[in-house]
Structure 1
């Protein structure tokens, strides 16, 4: 291996929750070979990231919504930071942070500028907003000298939409960080782990009891941002139809509502928060107990790069119902570890969910295959090693 130890590598995301969730463990691994600095807006977990990963972090004024004033402030901050630190490489992901980081790094004379494309926001937009978001992607790719699509679906769209003419190569089988297959393991939560009646530990029956779910309930789970762009309106419609049919169907809902950014249709937020057939538990740092309690992941998202939650569900032994979009249709193989349906199609979603309820034996077969399919293709340590090799390839 080339002598690349202690060169300065700056990893940028818009918010610290992305450093925390998307790059967990990878930063610590890379810090063995580089001086890694994490840069993101501190929303409350940046210090924890620093302590866990053993890296220096910088709180940057980066905002997800488009704002000319705030974005200029963020750009100027990054430019001054890069001029001061003189990094060998700036590597960014998440749309806004990447745009500002690539521009600032170019003007600051950073020799290596990597943009990992984890999702294309313009796909879910229309009109002027779509043109703006698409232009942002073109701009980010222009100022980067290496563009890494998170999956083959993202790669195809970048080429078809003429976002960049740069060479595009997916790392291994896709995904930015892989899956910690020891952490996301159904064997972790056993009856023996239930100490002093602690909630959400122990057997499936224990956790279901904590959630007021019975052993006879068929439980779908969704984990993520609870917004229209994630298919929450279609999921609400499907659950309402199941209620009318009086089936033992429950939805376990894990995540945050983002009413200001992407509100749901009238009545759907109230339904998801308060209906007796929905168990809304809010945002959870540890989602494993909720996977244990569920039968099938339902993920009706409109757009993704390479969704971690689908990988995590598979590692926990859950089959998934997903939309036929980037990432999802690369992780899920129809009939082997899940089912695939067209995005934005409420009827198709209902039919797939109903199929799962009526084919419980086949669901068990898919569940038995799900973990192995993830372990064989998305083991975290292999993704880290492949990422390190990408850095090694960079010219001196």
Structure 2
């Protein structure tokens, strides 16, 4: 059986972004997962029945550490001689593609699931643009996980069009709609969770799931909610996810509001977000940039209407007025209006709710995506044999 190496910067990406995928691929290839954080990676390997190899990587620009990561990965690939290396996330991308090229790996693939550099400027932006171009140059094929993201990569001149391919309808892993199913949660369970979180039974819940950082639109979301709540007191904002104040902090006044506002509830990081979707009425996701956001697909699969920014990924999953509402990014007034619209217009809310789950099942079912990716691997393998 041929060897397949999948690389992410941190194991969290293996757990969340690629959940189940490596175990599935292990039926067809000898799969090794490469990432940092050794203990967490080891646990991932045991839980998912795949081999692992630890390479310490950082998410920041750290030339010295990056060089050590590159050497370590190169030595591993030279020894293992995999047929395919497939990388995800920016740092794993550049180190993985460079090490693979140097080690003579024949099939080198990179998935682009969003471009953090779009929110940077100046010298740092120039460095990140150069890194992205280098990553794509070393890759034999690049998979933007949305059609709009492919267009952005082309506009930025990162590579020629023939190097890019969007798999299926987009996404990096699809959605398991058997897992994300609102029917799995009883009224009793939902009442208990509301009670545990001190959310009144009659409250309308806006939920956000993800990192509580500036680029996810948390500043705008909190300010919008404050106004909504002052007008409609029977509302709650539920924030499910961790702060990253050292990497991309929310404004100090917003951070204080989150901590002090009686109707803003934080849960910290959660391994299972489904119960929080189950008790909520609307997902509010005013992010500044995305690849192809799983959270939006998960919420829709849980029959939840969504409010999203008019950015790539989000505006491909969501059709305005069909399975959610699209608002301009960084505009808190538009966000507030959409929040009030879905609160007050029950008919619209019910229509969107009914459409949401079926749309995800039709376009983004996870097992369909795995088959599409497997077919891609097999075609590249066949092409390599003939080459």
**If the TM-score is normalised by the length of the shorter chain, which range does it land in?**
over 0.9
Match of 2:338 in 1: 352
Q: Quick check: 2:141–2:165 contact (8 Å CA) kept in 1? A: no
CA separation in 2, counterparts of 1:138 and 1:246? 49
Q: How does 1:186-225 map to 2 (within 5 A)?
A: 186-191=182-187, 202-225=188-211
Q: Tell me the TM-score normalized by structure 2.
A: 0.96
Q: Distance in 1 between matches of 2:190 and 2:122?
A: 47
Separation of aligned partners in 2, 1:51 and 1:360:
46
| Residue of structure 2 equivalent to 1:182 | 178
Is 2:109 aligned against 1:110? no
The partner residue of 2:37 within 18, 34, 42 is 42
TM-score, normalising length: structure 1: 0.94
For residues 229 and 320 of structure 2, what CA distance do their matches in structure 1 show?
Answer: 27
C-alpha deviations, 1:264-323, integer Å up to 9, x for none? 112211211331111101100000000011000000100000000001001111010000
How far off is 1:246 after superposition?
A: 4.7
Secondary structure of 1:333's aligned partner = coil
Q: Distance in 2 between matches of 1:144 and 1:13?
A: 15
Whether the 8 Å CA contact 1:121–1:133 is kept in 2: the answer is no
Partner residue in 1 for 2:230: 244
Contact 1:337–1:370 (8 Å) recurs in 2: yes
Instruction: Count residues with an aligned counterpart.
Output: 381
Pairwise CA distance, 1:371: 0.5
Q: How far, CA to CA, are the matches of 1:55 and 1:48 in structure 2?
A: 10
Deviation per CA, 1:120-171: give whole Å up to 9, x if none. 1111111222222111111110010111111101111111111111422211
Counterpart secondary structure, 1:36 = strand
Task: Choose from 221, 241, 246 the match for 1:260.
Answer: 246
Return the alpha-carbon distance in structure 1 between the equivalents of residues 138 and 161 of structure 2. 11
Pairs within 5 Å for 1:1-396: 6-42=1-37, 44-167=39-162, 168-191=164-187, 202-394=188-380, 395-396=384-385
Q: By how many angstroms is 1:361 displaced?
A: 2.7
Does the 8 Å CA contact 1:147/1:166 hold for their aligned counterparts? Answer: no
Say which SS state the counterpart of residue 284 (structure 2) adopts.
Answer: strand
8 Å Cα contact 1:16/1:41 also seen in 2 = yes
For the aligned residues, what is the CA RMSD?
A: 1.2
Q: What is the match of residue 197 of structure 1?
A: none
